[in-house]
A and B are shown apart, each in its own frame.
Chain A
Amino acid sequence: MNDVAGKPFGRFVPLAVFAVLVAFFVVGLVWNQSHDASFVPSPLINKPAPAFNLPLLKQPAQSVSKASMLGQAYLLNVFASWCFACADEHPTLMAYRDRFGIPLIGYDYRDKPADALAWLGRHGDPYHEVITDESGITALDFGVYGAPETYLIDAKGIIRYKHIGPLTPAVIAKELQPRIDALERGGK
């Protein structure tokens, strides 16, 4: 039998197991501080974006599809007039829309077009185009489960990054912009 300080080794097993447990708790507490628990990584990252074909908010007769967007990288920002957090995010989008270097497409999610238009009229319109998904059926294919969400889609139509929750200057600087820049470099 292994002895530690003259004591049977087995006596230390509960203490060791407990120590491992506490270590996990510490990591968990730290993780909780730096992560939003409602954030669940999307399985669609680095997979082709789902096909979509949605009308424009301002010209409902025209539509935008995945195919029509091929050839350029773009950001798809899911928002809705009923979404409180979207209003929080909105000033950031207004400030950054021209700095991303790629188009920012608004994706109006489960919303009445009239409400969305009024909302954009009130807060300002940061988007280069806005498409509407009133039923939310297409959003199911994107795995949208809460607004706001932001997708980075590359020129080949592949989803490169997804952010859940409001974009903030910090998130843009740390997570989003480097990925956009990498795409731009790779594309040229």
Chain B
Amino acid sequence: MKRFAAALLAFSLTFSINAFAIDPLPFQSNAQRLRFQHLTSELRCMVCQDESLLASNADFAKQLRRQIFEQMQQGKSDKEIKHWLVARYSTFILYDPPLAPSTIALWFGTPAIFLVGAGVVIVLLRRRARPADTIAEESGEDW
């Protein structure tokens, strides 16, 4: 019974943080609001790890949103703000991991897979495709 009660508690703890963030901040302009929304949507909330700073309702996210907002008012650029965050929380906070030795495979993986795939397709097509004039025009249904 005690274990069950503990399970219940765990459940309610998990779900009460599910409520999302509505956080009115006094932006100077619509452009600044958009910039803020864009920037915080690309940052990860460290506490509730599958949410962005924009969406998260955790206290931690709220505090960082305030911090980012204030830094914007001080005229800091997105780059400077990200630098400030990375110095404290590591690049884990960025949903857009910067190119580094540890992310080479991530960023170049897709182009590499594409090139290999395209290579195979090109070889296959060159080997298999025949000159157009050798292929008889089929009459009738083409479907």
- Indicate if A touches B (C-beta under 8 A): yes
Q: Assign chain B's interface to a size class.
A: 10 to 19
Q: Please state if A43 and B86 are interface contacts (CB–CB under 8 Å).
A: yes
- Asked whether any CB of chain A lies closer than 8 Å to the CB of B18, the reply is no
- A43 and B87 in contact, given A110-B59, A140-B63, A146-B60 (Cβ under 8 angstroms): yes
Q: Tell me, rounded to whole Å, the shortest Cβ–Cβ distance linking A59 to chain B.
A: 27
- Asked whether any CB of chain A lies closer than 8 Å to the CB of B122, the reply is no
- Asked whether any CB of chain A lies closer than 8 Å to the CB of B2, the reply is no
Q: In the complex, what residues of A have CB within 8 A of residue B60's CB?
A: 145-146
Q: Please state if A40 and B67 are interface contacts (CB–CB under 8 Å).
A: no
Residue of A37, A38, A136, A141 near B88 (CB, 8 A) is A141
Residue among A44, A110, A143 with max Cβ neighbours from chain B (10 Å): A143
Q: Tell me, rounded to whole Å, the shortest Cβ–Cβ distance linking A93 to chain B.
A: 22
Per-residue contact bits, chain B 81-93, to A (CB 8 Å; 1 contact, 0 not):
0000011111010
- A143 and B59 in contact, given A37-B49, A38-B49, A40-B46 (Cβ under 8 angstroms): no
Q: In the complex, what residues of A have CB within 8 A of residue B86's CB?
A: 43
Closest to A136 in B: B63
Q: Could you tell me the distance between the alpha carbons of A140 and B67 in the complex, rounded to whole angstroms?
A: 9
Q: In the complex, what residues of B have CB within 8 A of residue A140's CB?
A: 63-64, 67, 88
- Asked whether any CB of chain B lies closer than 8 Å to the CB of A41, the reply is yes
Q: Please state if A43 and B49 are interface contacts (CB–CB under 8 Å).
A: no
**Which positions 44-72 of chain B face chain A at CB distance < 8 Å?**
46-47, 49, 59-60, 63-64, 67
Q: Tell me, rounded to whole Å, the shortest Cβ–Cβ distance linking B49 to chain A.
A: 7
Q: Please state if B49 and A143 are interface contacts (CB–CB under 8 Å).
A: no
Q: Please state if B88 and A44 are interface contacts (CB–CB under 8 Å).
A: yes
Closest to B120 in A: A10
Q: Could you tell me the distance between the alpha carbons of A140 and B87 in the complex, rounded to whole angstroms?
A: 10
Q: Which residues of B contact A (CB under 8 A)?
A: 46-47, 49, 59-60, 63-64, 67, 86-90, 92
Q: Which residues of A contact B (CB under 8 A)?
A: 37-38, 40-44, 110, 136, 140-143, 145-146
12 pairs, A vs B, C-beta closer than 8 Å: A38-B49, A40-B92, A42-B89, A42-B90, A44-B88, A110-B59, A140-B63, A140-B64, A140-B88, A142-B88, A143-B89, A145-B46
Kindly list the 4 A-B residue pairs having the minimum CB-CB distance in the complex, ordered from nearest: A143-B88, A145-B46, A43-B90, A40-B92
